[in-house]
Structure 1
Amino acid sequence: MRKYHVHGYRRAFHPQAPAWVDDVPAFRALRDGLDLRRPITLFTGENGVGKSTLLEGLAVSCGFNARGGAFGEEMSGRENPLRHAATLLRGPLAMNGHFLRAEAHYEVAREYNRTHDTDLYTLSHGESVLRIVQDSFHGAGLFLLDEPESGLSLIRQMTLLAELHQIAEAGAQLIIATHSPVLLTLPGARILEFTADGGILENIGVEETTAYRALRDFLADPHSIADYMVDVTGP
């Protein structure tokens, strides 16, 4: 039986939990707990449902730096956003891996450049994300990725999909927050879509996700959709 670094994440009803926790849709979904025992788990849903903050809380609970980077790097002073609010269910494997945050990616580039031959500052944002995946991800770790598609063209998103699939096949555990219909097609992935009302759609197919359906509708009639959006957002 395959072993995992983390088994789940569950709401902890602690008196010191911040009051705002139950106002965030993805956090309300923690009441019944999240089963993370799959090689690949994908968090998706509209902006504002709390995917990234949920992933950050999970990462810090695992011992990663809140700003991102490889496991074992010095922890930052930022407090876990879900401290007192959620409990990590650990697996039997020793923790190692990487927390990749698209929004803070270049903040950790200096440390990466110090320990690797590649200078990430000479690459585009998307190229540097792919380089870290190719150089630092392996089949024995936990890899948390927050919107890794940021800065990547559609073709490079397909490249990233292939890289992540190979890593998972080699034994890694991946938990990814994404808006990308491309990454949502990762073979064997479990998709969890968080909704604005605090619900969660579990074990859905990519064709059922909001991200896929929105892209499908746009590609079916791009000009009409563009005209409509311009009209409804105009003065």
Structure 2
Amino acid sequence: MTVWDRPEPPARPAPLDRERIVAAALALADEGGLEAVSLRKVAARLDVGPMRLYGFIATKEELFDLMVDEVHAEILPEEPPSQWREALRVRAHRTRRAALRHPWLADLLGGRPTLGPNALAATEATLAPLDGRTDIDTALRAVETVNAYTIGAIRREVANLRAERATGLSKSDWQRASGPHVERMLATGRFPALARAVREATHVDAEESFATGLEWVLDAVAARISRRSE
């Protein structure tokens, strides 16, 4: 039985429900990451005893599932697109923006799917435009492919942001600090392709990089769907 199937106990003696518990956990995670979240810390923020929470949530993993599902309410668009490509594009961009608001989300994406109502609605909104456009196996692989790109790109971006906070160096600061080492290595002549990339490539910000890569993935998905439809 999932946490969504299990009824909540009576909110006595103090008012308490899963919504308040999840809100407290989200606040802790936004402030200090997943390591800042425990049932004891959530209980302390709600000013209740830790044992009170076990009537609502059995494990910390269940709490994480509820937190991810709550964020999926931010990912789900109010009016899901009717075209499959736009639906996948919107899902990817909204997931990225949610992860930038809640960096801890990057650590929980890509595992077993959460089965909460918001996550299921987001999946339905992504799959529905593909229904009838191609066979179900191709539709699932299309969604999985875009999700894999999205999660990988998000994790890289969040990792860079965490490194900036940990070191106090922005990306440009880090590049300036590591520049002399990189130039010495490139001067050896052992890395000609890398040297050309460093010196000639157009440098774009994270958002533009994400958007460009996403369109390339969507182009590949479109080509596969077209071939399957022939």
- Could you say whether these structures have the same fold, taking a TM-score greater than 0.5 normalized by the shorter chain as the test? no
Q: Which has the higher strand share?
A: 1
Higher relative contact order (CA 8 A, sep 6+): 1
Structure with the largest fraction of helix = 2
TM bracket (short chain): under 0.3
Structure-1-length-normalised TM-score? 0.26
Question: Which has the larger Rg?
Answer: 2
